[in-house]
Structure 1
Amino acid sequence: MISGLLGTDTARAAAPSPARLVARLAQPVPSQTPFVEVRQSPMLKQALQVSGTYRRPDTATLVRQVQQPYQETSTIAAGQVRVQRAGRSERVFAISRAPELASLQDSFAALLAGDLATLEKAFTLRSLGNDGQWQLQLTPRAPAVAARLRQLVLHGSGGDLRCIETQPVQGQVQRTLVGGTAQAALAEGVVDGQALQALCQGAAS
Protein backbone atom coordinates (compact mmCIF):
# COMPACT_ATOMS: atom_id res chain seq x y z
CA MET A 1 0.00 0.00 0.00
CA ILE A 2 2.80 2.42 0.95
CA SER A 3 4.62 1.67 -2.28
CA GLY A 4 1.42 2.32 -4.19
CA LEU A 5 0.99 5.73 -2.53
CA LEU A 6 4.60 6.60 -3.23
CA GLY A 7 4.09 5.61 -6.85
CA THR A 8 1.05 7.89 -7.09
CA ASP A 9 2.96 10.84 -5.60
CA THR A 10 5.85 10.26 -8.00
CA ALA A 11 3.51 10.17 -10.99
CA ARG A 12 1.96 13.47 -9.92
CA ALA A 13 5.37 15.09 -9.54
CA ALA A 14 6.83 13.74 -12.77
CA ALA A 15 7.02 16.03 -15.79
CA PRO A 16 4.65 15.13 -18.64
CA SER A 17 6.62 13.65 -21.53
CA PRO A 18 7.26 15.83 -24.61
CA ALA A 19 5.01 13.48 -26.59
CA ARG A 20 2.18 13.98 -24.11
CA LEU A 21 2.54 17.76 -24.13
CA VAL A 22 2.61 17.95 -27.92
CA ALA A 23 -0.51 15.79 -28.12
CA ARG A 24 -2.31 18.09 -25.65
CA LEU A 25 -1.46 21.27 -27.57
CA ALA A 26 -2.69 20.02 -30.96
CA GLN A 27 -5.37 22.21 -32.58
CA PRO A 28 -7.11 21.83 -35.93
CA VAL A 29 -6.94 24.59 -38.55
CA PRO A 30 -8.16 27.22 -38.89
CA SER A 31 -7.15 28.43 -35.44
CA GLN A 32 -6.24 31.67 -33.71
CA THR A 33 -5.05 32.85 -30.30
CA PRO A 34 -4.46 36.28 -28.74
CA PHE A 35 -0.93 37.30 -27.80
CA VAL A 36 0.79 39.99 -25.73
CA GLU A 37 4.44 41.04 -25.71
CA VAL A 38 6.25 43.72 -23.71
CA ARG A 39 9.15 45.35 -25.52
CA GLN A 40 11.92 47.15 -23.69
CA SER A 41 14.65 49.20 -25.30
CA PRO A 42 17.05 52.02 -24.34
CA MET A 43 15.42 53.96 -27.18
CA LEU A 44 12.00 53.78 -25.48
CA LYS A 45 11.10 56.00 -22.53
CA GLN A 46 8.92 53.22 -21.16
CA ALA A 47 8.16 49.59 -21.98
CA LEU A 48 5.79 49.07 -24.90
CA GLN A 49 2.93 46.56 -24.75
CA VAL A 50 2.22 44.97 -28.13
CA SER A 51 -0.93 42.88 -28.55
CA GLY A 52 -2.75 41.11 -31.32
CA THR A 53 -3.59 37.68 -32.69
CA TYR A 54 -1.71 34.70 -34.09
CA ARG A 55 -3.71 32.95 -36.83
CA ARG A 56 -3.22 29.71 -38.75
CA PRO A 57 -5.65 29.82 -41.69
CA ASP A 58 -4.12 26.60 -43.02
CA THR A 59 -1.35 24.17 -42.11
CA ALA A 60 1.32 26.02 -44.11
CA THR A 61 0.65 29.61 -43.01
CA LEU A 62 1.28 31.57 -39.81
CA VAL A 63 -0.12 35.11 -39.50
CA ARG A 64 0.92 37.51 -36.74
CA GLN A 65 -1.54 40.40 -36.64
CA VAL A 66 -0.60 43.30 -34.34
CA GLN A 67 -3.63 45.36 -33.31
CA GLN A 68 -2.19 47.67 -30.61
CA PRO A 69 -0.43 50.13 -30.36
CA TYR A 70 -0.12 50.01 -34.16
CA GLN A 71 -1.55 47.82 -36.90
CA GLU A 72 0.74 45.40 -38.71
CA THR A 73 0.28 42.00 -40.33
CA SER A 74 3.16 39.58 -40.86
CA THR A 75 2.44 36.47 -42.91
CA ILE A 76 4.86 33.55 -43.03
CA ALA A 77 4.13 31.19 -45.92
CA ALA A 78 5.84 29.51 -48.87
CA GLY A 79 9.32 30.38 -47.60
CA GLN A 80 8.59 34.11 -47.41
CA VAL A 81 7.70 36.72 -44.80
CA ARG A 82 5.28 39.43 -45.94
CA VAL A 83 4.94 42.48 -43.67
CA GLN A 84 2.09 44.95 -44.18
CA ARG A 85 1.76 48.06 -42.03
CA ALA A 86 -0.54 51.04 -42.41
CA GLY A 87 1.19 53.99 -44.05
CA ARG A 88 4.25 52.00 -45.14
CA SER A 89 5.27 50.06 -48.20
CA GLU A 90 4.83 46.30 -48.04
CA ARG A 91 8.02 44.35 -47.29
CA VAL A 92 8.73 40.84 -48.50
CA PHE A 93 11.84 38.82 -47.69
CA ALA A 94 12.97 35.21 -47.68
CA ILE A 95 12.50 33.43 -44.36
CA SER A 96 16.04 32.06 -44.74
CA ARG A 97 17.21 35.56 -43.73
CA ALA A 98 15.61 35.02 -40.31
CA PRO A 99 16.13 31.38 -39.26
CA GLU A 100 14.61 32.09 -35.85
CA LEU A 101 11.34 33.03 -37.60
CA ALA A 102 11.50 29.83 -39.61
CA SER A 103 11.97 27.87 -36.39
CA LEU A 104 9.05 29.68 -34.77
CA GLN A 105 6.78 28.92 -37.71
CA ASP A 106 7.89 25.30 -37.92
CA SER A 107 7.49 24.78 -34.18
CA PHE A 108 4.06 26.45 -34.11
CA ALA A 109 2.84 24.44 -37.07
CA ALA A 110 4.17 21.15 -35.70
CA LEU A 111 2.86 21.85 -32.19
CA LEU A 112 -0.63 22.76 -33.34
CA ALA A 113 -0.68 19.74 -35.65
CA GLY A 114 0.51 17.45 -32.86
CA ASP A 115 3.42 16.47 -35.12
CA LEU A 116 6.04 15.17 -32.69
CA ALA A 117 8.22 13.65 -35.44
CA THR A 118 8.69 17.00 -37.21
CA LEU A 119 9.50 18.74 -33.93
CA GLU A 120 12.10 16.13 -33.05
CA LYS A 121 13.79 16.53 -36.44
CA ALA A 122 14.28 20.25 -35.85
CA PHE A 123 14.73 20.36 -32.06
CA THR A 124 15.94 18.43 -29.07
CA LEU A 125 12.95 18.27 -26.72
CA ARG A 126 13.03 18.26 -22.93
CA SER A 127 10.12 18.57 -20.51
CA LEU A 128 10.26 19.83 -16.92
CA GLY A 129 7.81 20.44 -14.08
CA ASN A 130 4.48 18.70 -13.57
CA ASP A 131 0.93 18.73 -14.92
CA GLY A 132 0.10 21.90 -13.02
CA GLN A 133 3.08 23.87 -14.28
CA TRP A 134 5.32 22.52 -17.03
CA GLN A 135 8.01 23.60 -19.46
CA LEU A 136 8.83 22.21 -22.87
CA GLN A 137 12.33 23.21 -23.99
CA LEU A 138 13.13 23.14 -27.72
CA THR A 139 16.81 23.39 -28.60
CA PRO A 140 17.51 23.75 -32.35
CA ARG A 141 19.55 21.03 -34.01
CA ALA A 142 20.57 22.86 -37.21
CA PRO A 143 23.84 24.81 -36.73
CA ALA A 144 22.56 27.76 -38.79
CA VAL A 145 19.56 28.14 -36.49
CA ALA A 146 21.51 27.42 -33.29
CA ALA A 147 23.94 30.21 -34.20
CA ARG A 148 21.12 32.72 -33.68
CA LEU A 149 18.54 30.94 -31.54
CA ARG A 150 19.61 29.29 -28.29
CA GLN A 151 16.26 27.84 -27.28
CA LEU A 152 12.49 28.12 -27.35
CA VAL A 153 10.85 27.46 -23.97
CA LEU A 154 7.11 26.83 -23.76
CA HIS A 155 5.38 27.33 -20.41
CA GLY A 156 1.98 25.87 -19.68
CA SER A 157 -0.48 24.29 -17.29
CA GLY A 158 -2.48 21.17 -18.06
CA GLY A 159 -3.46 21.39 -21.71
CA ASP A 160 -3.02 25.17 -21.94
CA LEU A 161 -0.01 26.99 -23.38
CA ARG A 162 0.70 30.14 -21.35
CA CYS A 163 3.79 31.62 -22.93
CA ILE A 164 6.61 31.16 -25.41
CA GLU A 165 10.09 32.36 -24.48
CA THR A 166 12.43 32.98 -27.40
CA GLN A 167 16.03 32.92 -26.18
CA PRO A 168 18.39 34.35 -28.81
CA VAL A 169 22.14 33.79 -28.73
CA GLN A 170 22.51 37.56 -28.52
CA GLY A 171 20.03 40.02 -27.09
CA GLN A 172 17.18 39.85 -24.60
CA VAL A 173 14.74 37.01 -24.06
CA GLN A 174 11.44 37.71 -25.84
CA ARG A 175 8.34 36.48 -23.98
CA THR A 176 5.05 36.10 -25.81
CA LEU A 177 1.95 35.44 -23.72
CA VAL A 178 -0.82 33.56 -25.51
CA GLY A 179 -4.42 32.52 -24.93
CA GLY A 180 -5.94 33.19 -21.52
CA THR A 181 -2.64 34.46 -20.13
CA ALA A 182 -2.51 37.12 -22.84
CA GLN A 183 -6.07 38.17 -22.02
CA ALA A 184 -5.11 38.45 -18.33
CA ALA A 185 -2.15 40.67 -19.23
CA LEU A 186 -4.41 42.95 -21.27
CA ALA A 187 -6.94 43.16 -18.45
CA GLU A 188 -4.20 44.00 -15.93
CA GLY A 189 -2.45 46.44 -18.27
CA VAL A 190 0.90 44.68 -17.89
CA VAL A 191 3.76 46.81 -19.27
CA ASP A 192 6.51 45.65 -16.93
CA GLY A 193 9.03 43.00 -17.90
CA GLN A 194 9.05 41.36 -14.47
CA ALA A 195 5.25 41.19 -14.35
CA LEU A 196 5.24 39.65 -17.82
CA GLN A 197 7.82 37.08 -16.73
CA ALA A 198 5.71 36.18 -13.69
CA LEU A 199 2.62 35.64 -15.85
CA CYS A 200 4.66 33.68 -18.37
CA GLN A 201 6.13 31.31 -15.82
CA GLY A 202 2.96 30.92 -13.79
CA ALA A 203 4.13 32.88 -10.75
CA ALA A 204 1.10 35.18 -10.95
CA SER A 205 -2.50 34.75 -11.93
Structure 2
Amino acid sequence: MTQLPTNLRARTLLLALLLAAAPLYAAPPEAARVDADWILARLARPAPDRTAFVELRGSKLLKTPLRLSGEYRRPDAATLVREVRAPYAETTTIRAGEAMIARAGKPSRRFSLARAPELAGLQASFGALLAGDRAALEQHYRLASAGTRQHWTLTLAPKDAALAARLQAITLYGRGAELRCIETQPVGAETQRTLLAGAAQAVTPVMATDALAMLCHGDGVAR
Protein backbone atom coordinates (compact mmCIF):
# COMPACT_ATOMS: atom_id res chain seq x y z
CA MET A 1 0.00 0.00 0.00
CA THR A 2 1.17 3.48 -0.75
CA GLN A 3 0.23 6.45 1.43
CA LEU A 4 -3.28 7.73 0.75
CA PRO A 5 -3.47 11.13 -0.99
CA THR A 6 -5.37 13.64 1.14
CA ASN A 7 -5.73 16.61 -1.22
CA LEU A 8 -8.88 17.77 -2.94
CA ARG A 9 -7.80 16.21 -6.21
CA ALA A 10 -8.59 12.79 -4.70
CA ARG A 11 -11.97 13.97 -3.49
CA THR A 12 -12.86 15.55 -6.80
CA LEU A 13 -11.75 12.38 -8.58
CA LEU A 14 -14.07 10.22 -6.51
CA LEU A 15 -16.98 12.59 -7.00
CA ALA A 16 -16.47 12.70 -10.74
CA LEU A 17 -16.18 8.92 -10.93
CA LEU A 18 -19.45 8.49 -9.08
CA LEU A 19 -21.39 11.07 -11.09
CA ALA A 20 -19.81 10.76 -14.50
CA ALA A 21 -22.08 8.61 -16.64
CA ALA A 22 -25.34 10.48 -17.30
CA PRO A 23 -28.25 9.38 -19.53
CA LEU A 24 -29.09 11.20 -22.72
CA TYR A 25 -31.03 14.43 -22.37
CA ALA A 26 -34.73 14.54 -23.26
CA ALA A 27 -36.23 18.03 -23.24
CA PRO A 28 -38.87 18.45 -20.49
CA PRO A 29 -41.40 21.29 -20.11
CA GLU A 30 -39.41 24.51 -20.26
CA ALA A 31 -41.11 26.46 -17.46
CA ALA A 32 -41.14 23.67 -14.85
CA ARG A 33 -39.11 24.48 -11.74
CA VAL A 34 -37.09 21.81 -9.98
CA ASP A 35 -36.27 20.75 -6.46
CA ALA A 36 -33.60 18.41 -5.10
CA ASP A 37 -35.93 15.39 -5.23
CA TRP A 38 -36.59 15.91 -8.95
CA ILE A 39 -32.87 16.20 -9.71
CA LEU A 40 -31.87 13.21 -7.57
CA ALA A 41 -34.50 11.04 -9.25
CA ARG A 42 -32.87 11.76 -12.62
CA LEU A 43 -29.27 11.34 -11.48
CA ALA A 44 -29.99 7.88 -10.10
CA ARG A 45 -28.94 5.26 -12.65
CA PRO A 46 -27.73 1.67 -12.77
CA ALA A 47 -24.45 0.32 -14.13
CA PRO A 48 -23.01 -0.35 -16.65
CA ASP A 49 -22.53 3.17 -17.96
CA ARG A 50 -19.85 5.44 -19.42
CA THR A 51 -19.32 9.04 -20.49
CA ALA A 52 -16.62 11.33 -21.84
CA PHE A 53 -15.14 14.04 -19.62
CA VAL A 54 -12.96 17.13 -19.86
CA GLU A 55 -11.43 18.24 -16.56
CA LEU A 56 -10.03 21.73 -15.98
CA ARG A 57 -7.50 21.84 -13.17
CA GLY A 58 -6.54 25.39 -12.19
CA SER A 59 -3.36 26.48 -10.45
CA LYS A 60 -1.71 29.78 -9.59
CA LEU A 61 1.42 28.39 -11.23
CA LEU A 62 -0.33 27.98 -14.60
CA LYS A 63 -1.41 30.75 -16.98
CA THR A 64 -4.34 28.59 -18.12
CA PRO A 65 -5.93 25.56 -16.42
CA LEU A 66 -4.51 22.14 -17.19
CA ARG A 67 -6.98 20.34 -19.44
CA LEU A 68 -7.43 16.59 -19.05
CA SER A 69 -9.71 14.48 -21.22
CA GLY A 70 -10.82 10.88 -21.17
CA GLU A 71 -13.70 8.68 -20.09
CA TYR A 72 -15.46 7.63 -16.89
CA ARG A 73 -16.89 4.11 -16.66
CA ARG A 74 -19.03 2.13 -14.26
CA PRO A 75 -18.70 -1.43 -15.57
CA ASP A 76 -20.71 -2.66 -12.58
CA ALA A 77 -22.27 -1.19 -9.46
CA ALA A 78 -19.16 -1.90 -7.37
CA THR A 79 -16.50 -0.59 -9.78
CA LEU A 80 -15.66 2.97 -10.85
CA VAL A 81 -13.03 3.78 -13.49
CA ARG A 82 -11.51 7.09 -14.59
CA GLU A 83 -9.35 6.83 -17.70
CA VAL A 84 -7.28 9.90 -18.63
CA ARG A 85 -6.21 9.78 -22.29
CA ALA A 86 -4.68 13.24 -22.77
CA PRO A 87 -2.27 14.91 -22.12
CA TYR A 88 -1.05 11.67 -20.49
CA ALA A 89 -2.41 8.16 -19.97
CA GLU A 90 -3.60 7.21 -16.47
CA THR A 91 -6.34 4.90 -15.19
CA THR A 92 -7.82 5.05 -11.69
CA THR A 93 -10.03 2.17 -10.54
CA ILE A 94 -12.09 2.23 -7.33
CA ARG A 95 -13.36 -1.14 -6.18
CA ALA A 96 -13.97 -2.90 -2.85
CA GLY A 97 -12.86 0.05 -0.73
CA GLU A 98 -9.58 0.51 -2.58
CA ALA A 99 -8.28 2.79 -5.31
CA MET A 100 -5.61 1.73 -7.80
CA ILE A 101 -3.81 4.22 -10.04
CA ALA A 102 -2.01 2.91 -13.13
CA ARG A 103 0.12 5.21 -15.29
CA ALA A 104 2.12 4.24 -18.36
CA GLY A 105 5.76 3.50 -17.56
CA LYS A 106 5.27 3.62 -13.78
CA PRO A 107 4.40 1.03 -11.10
CA SER A 108 0.73 0.90 -10.10
CA ARG A 109 -0.20 2.57 -6.80
CA ARG A 110 -2.88 1.19 -4.51
CA PHE A 111 -4.41 2.69 -1.37
CA SER A 112 -7.32 1.99 0.96
CA LEU A 113 -10.25 4.40 1.17
CA ALA A 114 -10.80 3.29 4.77
CA ARG A 115 -7.59 5.08 5.77
CA ALA A 116 -9.15 8.45 4.87
CA PRO A 117 -12.47 9.03 6.72
CA GLU A 118 -13.34 12.10 4.62
CA LEU A 119 -12.85 10.21 1.36
CA ALA A 120 -14.77 7.19 2.65
CA GLY A 121 -17.58 9.55 3.67
CA LEU A 122 -17.74 10.97 0.17
CA GLN A 123 -17.90 7.47 -1.27
CA ALA A 124 -20.89 6.63 0.93
CA SER A 125 -22.58 9.97 0.18
CA PHE A 126 -22.42 9.69 -3.57
CA GLY A 127 -23.43 6.08 -3.44
CA ALA A 128 -26.60 7.51 -1.88
CA LEU A 129 -26.82 10.07 -4.69
CA LEU A 130 -26.66 7.34 -7.34
CA ALA A 131 -29.47 5.58 -5.50
CA GLY A 132 -31.52 8.80 -5.31
CA ASP A 133 -31.48 8.55 -1.50
CA ARG A 134 -31.85 12.15 -0.30
CA ALA A 135 -32.00 11.24 3.40
CA ALA A 136 -28.65 9.45 3.25
CA LEU A 137 -27.07 12.27 1.24
CA GLU A 138 -28.24 14.89 3.73
CA GLN A 139 -26.34 13.13 6.49
CA HIS A 140 -23.17 14.65 4.96
CA TYR A 141 -24.31 17.68 2.92
CA ARG A 142 -26.78 20.56 2.90
CA LEU A 143 -28.61 20.55 -0.44
CA ALA A 144 -29.76 23.58 -2.40
CA SER A 145 -31.42 23.38 -5.81
CA ALA A 146 -32.21 26.12 -8.34
CA GLY A 147 -33.38 26.61 -11.92
CA THR A 148 -35.78 24.81 -14.22
CA ARG A 149 -35.85 21.40 -15.85
CA GLN A 150 -34.07 22.95 -18.82
CA HIS A 151 -31.23 24.37 -16.70
CA TRP A 152 -30.75 23.33 -13.08
CA THR A 153 -28.13 23.33 -10.34
CA LEU A 154 -27.74 21.23 -7.22
CA THR A 155 -25.27 22.55 -4.64
CA LEU A 156 -23.80 20.33 -1.93
CA ALA A 157 -22.28 22.11 1.08
CA PRO A 158 -20.40 19.83 3.49
CA LYS A 159 -21.66 19.56 7.07
CA ASP A 160 -18.47 17.98 8.42
CA ALA A 161 -16.21 20.70 9.83
CA ALA A 162 -12.98 19.05 8.67
CA LEU A 163 -14.20 18.80 5.09
CA ALA A 164 -15.79 22.26 5.17
CA ALA A 165 -12.40 23.72 6.10
CA ARG A 166 -11.07 22.49 2.76
CA LEU A 167 -14.14 22.48 0.54
CA GLN A 168 -16.70 25.27 0.20
CA ALA A 169 -19.16 23.44 -2.01
CA ILE A 170 -19.71 21.13 -4.95
CA THR A 171 -22.18 22.33 -7.57
CA LEU A 172 -23.75 20.08 -10.18
CA TYR A 173 -25.02 21.68 -13.40
CA GLY A 174 -27.51 19.85 -15.55
CA ARG A 175 -30.11 19.94 -18.26
CA GLY A 176 -33.07 17.63 -17.97
CA ALA A 177 -31.72 14.20 -17.01
CA GLU A 178 -28.20 15.05 -18.19
CA LEU A 179 -25.48 15.96 -15.70
CA ARG A 180 -23.23 18.27 -17.72
CA CYS A 181 -20.70 19.68 -15.26
CA ILE A 182 -19.31 19.30 -11.74
CA GLU A 183 -17.80 22.43 -10.21
CA THR A 184 -15.69 21.98 -7.08
CA GLN A 185 -14.85 25.04 -4.98
CA PRO A 186 -11.92 24.37 -2.62
CA VAL A 187 -11.17 26.81 0.18
CA GLY A 188 -8.38 29.17 -0.88
CA ALA A 189 -7.75 27.48 -4.24
CA GLU A 190 -8.84 27.65 -7.86
CA THR A 191 -12.28 26.34 -8.85
CA GLN A 192 -12.05 22.95 -10.53
CA ARG A 193 -14.49 21.95 -13.29
CA THR A 194 -15.29 18.60 -14.87
CA LEU A 195 -17.43 18.77 -18.02
CA LEU A 196 -19.36 15.61 -18.82
CA ALA A 197 -21.46 14.04 -21.53
CA GLY A 198 -22.75 16.62 -24.03
CA ALA A 199 -20.76 19.46 -22.47
CA ALA A 200 -17.50 17.51 -22.79
CA GLN A 201 -18.26 16.67 -26.40
CA ALA A 202 -18.78 20.37 -27.16
CA VAL A 203 -15.28 21.35 -25.97
CA THR A 204 -12.84 22.37 -28.72
CA PRO A 205 -9.01 22.39 -28.45
CA VAL A 206 -8.85 26.20 -28.72
CA MET A 207 -11.77 27.04 -26.42
CA ALA A 208 -10.85 29.78 -23.92
CA THR A 209 -11.21 29.36 -20.16
CA ASP A 210 -14.17 31.75 -19.87
CA ALA A 211 -15.96 29.94 -22.69
CA LEU A 212 -15.38 26.63 -20.90
CA ALA A 213 -16.90 28.11 -17.73
CA MET A 214 -19.96 29.25 -19.70
CA LEU A 215 -20.24 25.78 -21.20
CA CYS A 216 -20.14 24.32 -17.70
CA HIS A 217 -22.81 26.67 -16.37
CA GLY A 218 -25.04 26.72 -19.44
CA ASP A 219 -27.11 29.67 -20.63
CA GLY A 220 -29.86 30.60 -18.25
CA VAL A 221 -28.73 28.43 -15.34
CA ALA A 222 -29.74 29.96 -12.03
CA ARG A 223 -26.68 30.30 -9.78
Q: Do they fold alike, i.e. is TM over 0.5?
A: yes
Q: 1:23 to 1:182 in 2, by over 3 A?
A: same
- The alignment-based identity, stated in percent, is 49
Structure with more helix by fraction: 1
Which residue is equivalent to 2:130?
A: 112
CA RMSD for the aligned pairs?
A: 2.5
Deviations 1:153-196 (A, max 9, x none): 000111111100011123111100001111111xx225532121
Q: Which amino acid counterpart does residue 173 of structure 1 have in structure 2?
A: T
Which residue is equivalent to 2:56?
A: 38
Question: Are residue 201 (structure 1) and residue 220 (structure 2) matched?
Answer: no
The answer for unaligned runs of 5 or more in structure 1 is 1-10
TM-score, with normalisation over the residues of structure 1? 0.81
- Equivalent pair of 2:91/2:103 in contact (CA under 8 Å): yes
Residues 172-187 of structure 1 mapped to structure 2, 5 A cutoff: 172-185=190-203
Q: Structure 2: how far apart are the matches of 1:50 and 1:148? A: 23
Deviations 1:79-127 (A, max 9, x none): 3221110011111223344836862x44543333323232222211110
Which residue is equivalent to 2:178?
A: 160
SS for the counterpart of 1:144 is helix
1:138 shift after superposition: 0.6
SS for the counterpart of 1:57 is strand
1:189 corresponds, among 202, 205, 221, to 205
Q: Structure 2: how far apart are the matches of 1:201 and 1:98? A: 31
TM-score, with normalisation over the residues of structure 2? 0.75
Q: Structure 2: how far apart are the matches of 1:26 and 1:190? A: 34
Larger Rg belongs to: 1
Question: Are residue 80 (structure 1) and residue 98 (structure 2) matched?
Answer: yes
Which residue is equivalent to 2:14?
A: none
Q: 1:62 to 1:108 in 2, by over 3 A?
A: farther
2:118 corresponds, among 99, 109, 120, to 99
The answer for unaligned runs of 5 or more in structure 2 is 1-28
Q: Structure 2: how far apart are the matches of 1:47 and 1:109? A: 29
1:13 shift after superposition: 5.5
